[in-house]
Amino acid sequence: MSIVKPHKLGIIAGPGSEYFTGKVVKHLRRLYLDRYEKLSAALEKRHDMTPEQLLDVVTLNDDLISKKIPRGRRPKIYTCPDFEIPVKYTRFANGEEKAEILQAVRGLRLFIIYDVTNQYPVQIAGSDEPVVLSINDHLMFLFTTVDALRIAGADGITLVLPAYPYARQHKKSGREALTAALFGRMCENMGVERIITLDIHSREIENCFSTTHLENLHASYQALIQLHKLIDFNDPNLVVVSPDTGAVQRNKFYAEALHRPLAMLYKERDYSIVSKDAKHSNIKSISLLGDVKDKTVLMADDMIGTGGTLLIAMRKLKELGAKKIICLVSLPFFNGSAREDFDQAYKEEVFFRIIGTNAVYHDQTFTDKEWFIQADVTELFARVISRLHHGRPLSPLLDNRQFIHRLIDNSQANPQAPLPGSKVAYSDRDD
**Which of 357, 352, 279 lies closest to 318, judged by CA?**
352
In a domain? residue 425 = no
CB atoms within 10 A of CB 89: 21
Of 1-15, 208-222, 398-412, 417-431, the poorest mean pLDDT is in 417-431
CATH of the domain at 361: 3.40.50.2020
pLDDT, one tens digit per residue, over 161-179 is 999 999 988 888 788 899 9
- Write the CB contacts of 303 (distance below 8 Å, at least 6 apart in sequence): 163, 199, 201, 329, 330, 331, 332, 333
Q: Which helix (H) or strand (E) holds 325?
A: strand 324-332
State the Rg of the chain over Cα: 24
| Structural domain count, the chain | 2
Same domain, 295 and 313: yes
Local structure of 214: helix, strand or coil: strand
Q: What's the pLDDT at 1? A: 46
Instruction: Please answer whether residues 361 and 20 qualify as being in contact, where contact means their C-beta atoms are separated by less than 8 angstroms.
Output: yes
Q: Is the pLDDT of residue 200 over 80?
A: yes
* Strand-strand pairing, 324-332 and 353-357: parallel
Going by pLDDT thresholds of 50, 70 and 90, the confidence category of residue 431 is very low
Query: CB of 4 within 8 A of CB of 58?
Result: yes
Q: Clarify whether residues 196 and 242 are in a common domain.
A: no
Residues 16 and 31 in one domain: yes
Residues 316 and 204 in one domain: no
- Are 210 and 267 part of one and the same domain? no
pLDDT digits (tens, 9 = 90+) for 323-339: 999 999 999 999 989 99
Question: Tens digits of per-residue pLDDT, 7-44?
Answer: 789 999 999 999 999 999 999 999 988 888 888 889 88
* CB of 144 closer than 8 Å to CB of 97: yes
Instruction: Determine the length of the chain.
Output: 431
CA torsion angle 336 342 345 351 (round to 10):
140
Distance CA 232, CA 220 (A): 17
Q: Which domain holds residue 52?
A: 1-218+377-396
| Mean pLDDT, the chain, whole residue set | 88
Give the Å distances, CA to CA, from 410 to 27, 219, 225, 238, 402: 27, 20, 14, 18, 12
CA 194, CA 213: separation in Å to the nearest integer?
Answer: 5
**Which is nearest to 382 in space by CA: 20, 2, 38, 16?**
20
Q: Say if residue 362 is in the same domain as residue 389.
A: no
Flag whether 317 is in a domain.
yes
The helix or strand, by DSSP H or E, that contains position 311, with its residue range, turns out to be helix 308-319
324 domain-assigned: yes
337 by Cβ neighbours in 10 Å (0-12 / 13-18 / 19+) ranks as: middle
Query: Do 390 and 276 share a structural domain?
Result: no
Same domain flag for 7 and 133: yes
Whether residue 39 lies inside any domain: the answer is yes
Residue 431 forms part of a structural domain: no
DSSP one-letter code for 290: S
Distance CA 13, CA 20 (A): 8
DSSP assignment of 192-236:
--EEEEES-S-GGGGGG-SS-EEEEE--HHHHHHHHHTTS-TT-T
For 26, other C-beta atoms within 10 Å of its C-beta total: 13
CB 150 within 8 A of CB 190: yes
Average pLDDT over residues 101-123: 95
pTM of structure: 0.90
Kindly state the average pLDDT of the residues 91-107: 94
**421 domain residue, yes or no:** no
d(CA 215, CA 199): 10
Q: What is the pLDDT of residues 55-80, one digit of tens each?
A: 888 888 777 777 777 777 878 888 88
- Residues 202, 326, single domain; the answer is no
The verdict on 263 and 209 lying in the same domain is: no
Residue-by-residue DSSP string for 407-422 = HHHHHHHSTTSPPP-H
CA angle 116, 121, 125 (to 5 degrees): 90
Asked whether residue 417 is domain-assigned, the answer is: no
For residue 275, the model assigns a pLDDT of 59
Do both 202 and 231 map to the same domain?
Answer: no
In a domain, 297, yes or no: yes
CB 243 within 8 A of CB 289: no
Single-letter code of the amino acid located at 73:
R
- Give the residue among 85, 96, 119, 113 at the shortest CA–CA distance from 378: 113
Q: Examine the pLDDT at 429 and tell me if it is beyond 50.
A: no
Rounded to 5 degrees, what angle do the CA atoms 203, 337, 270 make? 55
Looking at the fold, whether 193 and 278 belong to one and the same domain comes out as no
